[in-house]
Amino acid sequence: MHLETKDIVNQPVDRVYALVRDDLGKLVPFLPNIEKIDVIEKEKINENERKVVNHWYSKVDVPAMAKKYLKPEVFAWKDFAVWNDQEKSASFRLESFVGKDLYEAKGKNYFRAIGTDKTEVCISCDITIHADKVPGIPRFLAATLLPVIEGIIAKILEPNLKSLSKGLNGYFKDQN
């Protein structure tokens, strides 16, 4: 599954980039389906790069047929990102709390200046889900539940990817 979005934030690129890199938790009230984001680690790699690890916790409504098998921690993830200050970009890898092999998710975020007071936010993410690795799901049900699991994950991630720019605009509007 490939998710991609581009949108405009009505703030200078340096301000937008710094907020997402350093204070992502401040955007939680503006992100649908996200309960909280915890910053776990920040480390300067070199002059232009920083490693940031965040833990994301989603609010999800699991369909009744899948509730027996899908626990809330399936929909929480670790976000390992390397931020490049020179490029104003972040390369990231997402990992489930319940297992490194539950899915593969990698992507890149770009923040591009448009003039002096606007930023184009570009987000791209590729996700492969391994339903047979979800704890508690019998193997014989994995293929049947894969579309349900993919749908739930898409329902969590896609609106947040697409609403990041709206959330950023909402955050900055709220600050004024």
Query: Could you report the per-residue pLDDT of 32-73, keeping only the tens digit for each?
Result: 778 899 999 999 999 999 999 999 988 877 767 667 666 667
Position with higher pLDDT, 175 vs 114:
114
- Give the model's pLDDT for residue 38: 95
Is the pLDDT at 155 greater than 70? The verdict is: no
- Give the model's pLDDT for residue 131: 64
CATH (one of 3.30.565.10, 3.40.640.10, 3.30.530.20, 1.10.3720.10) for 2-175: 3.30.530.20
- Is the pTM for the entire model greater than 0.85? no
Residue with tokens 């626990």: 71
- Give the model's pLDDT for residue 156: 65
Query: Could you report the per-residue pLDDT of 92-150, keeping only the tens digit for each?
Result: 998 888 767 777 889 999 999 999 999 999 999 898 877 666 666 667 777 777 777 66
How large is the average pLDDT for residues 85-98? 92
